[in-house]
C-alpha cells in the first residue's frame, strides 16, 4: 500500500513591517554597556533595564552586567550605566557625590526633550507633559525641572480638565507615544490654551513614528498582527494599538513561545513587526515558528528607510 501523504501545511503570507526593531537609541545603549564591560571589566552595574527587553537584558547579564533599581545598590568601586530612557538630574548628581564612574546611555532624543524642558522653565513657563504615568522616561523628564513646574497629561480628558496657570504654558511629549493619540491630546490643549507653546520639532521620535507608519501601511492587508516587544515597552504597545484601531486583531509577544495559535487560526496574511527594543533575532525566531506550521511566503514591506545613528560617549571610544 502506498504511504499516506502528509497533510500539506496551510499557506501563509507574512508581511514583515520595515522599519521594525532596534532604533539608533537602543543600539547605542546596548553598545555602551558592551563597551563599558570591555573598558572596565565585569561587573558593570546598570541602573534599570538598559532597554525594555528581557532577552537583551539577559544577554548583557551573561556578559557581566548587573541590573539594579537604584544607585545605593552599586558599590563605590564599580562603574554604572544609566538606561536609554533617561534619569532625573538627582541620579548623576548622587553618582558624582559618591565619586562613582558613570556612563549615561540616555537616548540623545530623550536628552533633547530634557534640554527643551529646562529652557522652557528658564523662560518662566509651566509645562504640560504628554506621557504615560510611571514610565521611566516620564520620571526622568520630570526630574529635569523643579517640582510643580510640570504637569502630566495622559489623555484628551486630562487635557480638558487639567488645572494650570492660564498663561505662559508650553507642552512637550514623551518620545514613544501614539502619533494619533498625541495629536488628539495636543488638539485639546490648543483648543483650551490657544497661546500654548509647542515644541520646535516633534518630540515623538523618528523610530516611534516610522514603526507606527509601517504598521499602518501593512494593516489593511493583514488578518492578524504579531508585535514582538516587552509588555512594558511603550513603543511596542503602541504598535499593537495602531493595528487594533485599524480593525486588525493584534498580540504583543515577547518570543515565539508566546504565540497563541488558537487566536492566530489559519489566516491567509498576517503582519509581523517588532518594537524599538526587540532584537531582529526574535523576529527570525517567530518567523521560524510560523514556518513549522505553515507554508510561509515572506514579504518585507519597506516603508521608510532609516539611517539614523548616534555618537557613543567620548569616554568609551577614546
Ligand atoms: S525609541 Fe526613540 S527615543 Fe527611544 S531610544 Fe529609540 S530613538 Fe531614542
Task: Give pTM, 2 decimals.
Answer: 0.94
- Give the distance (Å) from ligand 1 centre to CA of residue 27: 9
**Within this chain, do residues 216 and 286 fall inside the same structural domain, yes or no?**
yes
Q: How many CA atoms lie within 13 A of 229 on its CB side?
A: 28
The ligand 1 atom at the shortest distance from the C-alpha of residue 107 is 8
In a domain, 6, yes or no: no
What is the mean predicted confidence (pLDDT) over 209-214?
96
Q: Please indicate, yes or no, if residue 315 is contained in any of the structural domains.
A: no
Report d(CA 13, CA 133) in Å as an integer: 38
In testing the pocket of ligand 1, which one of 20, 21, 25, 209 has its CB within 8 Å of the most ligand atoms?
Answer: 25
Q: Give the CATH number for residue 67.
A: 3.40.50.11270
pLDDT tens column, 248-293: 999 999 999 999 999 999 999 999 999 999 999 999 999 999 999 9
Final residue of a domain: which of 107, 141, 176? 107
Other CB atoms within a 10 A radius of the CB of residue 7 amount to: 6
Among 107, 129, 158, identify where a domain stops: 107
208 lines ligand 1 (CB under 6 A): yes
Residues 210 and 291 placed together within one structural domain of the fold: yes
Average pLDDT of the residues in 20-45? 97
181: domain CATH number is: 3.40.1010.20
Strands 295-302, 269-274: parallel, antiparallel or unpaired by DSSP?
unpaired
15 lies in the same domain as 28: no
Are the CB atoms for 167 and 192 separated by under 8 Å? no
In a domain, 183, yes or no: yes
> What is the total count of domains within the chain?
3
Q: Report which ligand 1 atom has the smallest distance to the Cα of 205.
A: 2
- Domain end position, chosen among 107, 139, 154: 107
> What is the spatial distance between Cα 297 and Cα 223, in angstroms, rounded to a whole number?
15
Segments forming the whole domain that contains residue 17 = 11-22+206-302
Range with the lowest mean pLDDT among 1-15, 57-71, 221-235?
1-15
Whether residue 80 is found in the same domain as residue 57:
yes
Supply 77's cell numbers: 568601586
Q: Let me know if residue 51 belongs to a domain.
A: yes
Amino acid at each position: 500500500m502506498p504511504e499516506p501523504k502528509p497533510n500539506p501545511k496551510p499557506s501563509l503570507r507574512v508581511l514583515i513591517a520595515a522599519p521594525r526593531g532596534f532604533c539608533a537609541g537602543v543600539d547605542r545603549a546596548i553598545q555602551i554597556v558592551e563597551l563599558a564591560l570591555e573598558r572596565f571589566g565585569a561587573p558593570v552595574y546598570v541602573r534599570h533595564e538598559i532597554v525594555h527587553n528581557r532577552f537583551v537584558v539577559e544577554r548583557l547579564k551573561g556578559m557581566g552586567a548587573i541590573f539594579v533599581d537604584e544607585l545605593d545598590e552599586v558599590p563605590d568601586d564599580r562603574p554604572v550605566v544609566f538606561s536609554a530612557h533617561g534619569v532625573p538630574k538627582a541620579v548623576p548628581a548622587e553618582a558624582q557625590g559618591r565619586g562613582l564612574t558613570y556612563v549615561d546611555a540616555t537616548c540623545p532624543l530623550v536628552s533633547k526633550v530634557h534640554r527643551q524642558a529646562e529652557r522652557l522653565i528658564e523662560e518662566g513657563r509651566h509645562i504640560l507633559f504628554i506621557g504615560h504615568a510611571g514610565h521611566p522616561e516620564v520620571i526622568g523628564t520630570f526630574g529635569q525641572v523643579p517640582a510643580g513646574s510640570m504637569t502630566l497629561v495622559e489623555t484628551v480628558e486630562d487635557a480638558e480638565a487639567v488645572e494650570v496657570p492660564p498663561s505662559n504654558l508650553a507642552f512637550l511629549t514623551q518620545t514613544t507615544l501614539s502619533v494619533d493619540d498625541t495629536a488628539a491630546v495636543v488638539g485639546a490643549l490648543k483648543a483650551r490654551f490657544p497661546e500654548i507653546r509647542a515644541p520646535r520639532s516633534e518630540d515623538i521620535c523618528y523610530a516611534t513614528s516610522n514603526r507606527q507608519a509601517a504598521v499602518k501601511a501593512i494593516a489593511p492587508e493583514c488578518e492578524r498582527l504579531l508585535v514582538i516587544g516587552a509588555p512594558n515597552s511603550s513603543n511596542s504597545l503602541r504598535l499593537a494599538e495602531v493595528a487594533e484601531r485599524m480593525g486588525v486583531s493584534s498580540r504583543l509577544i515577547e518570543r515565539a513561545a508566546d504565540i497563541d495559535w488558537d487566536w492566530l487560526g489559519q489566516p491567509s496574511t498576517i503582519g509581523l513587526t517588532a518594537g524599538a527594543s526587540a532584537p531582529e533575532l526574535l523576529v527570525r525566531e517567530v518567523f521560524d515558528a510560523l514556518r513549522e506550521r505553515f507554508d510561509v511566503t515572506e514579504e518585507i514591506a519597506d516603508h521608510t528607510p532609516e539611517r539614523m545613528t548616534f555618537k557613543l560617549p567620548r569616554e568609551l571610544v577614546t
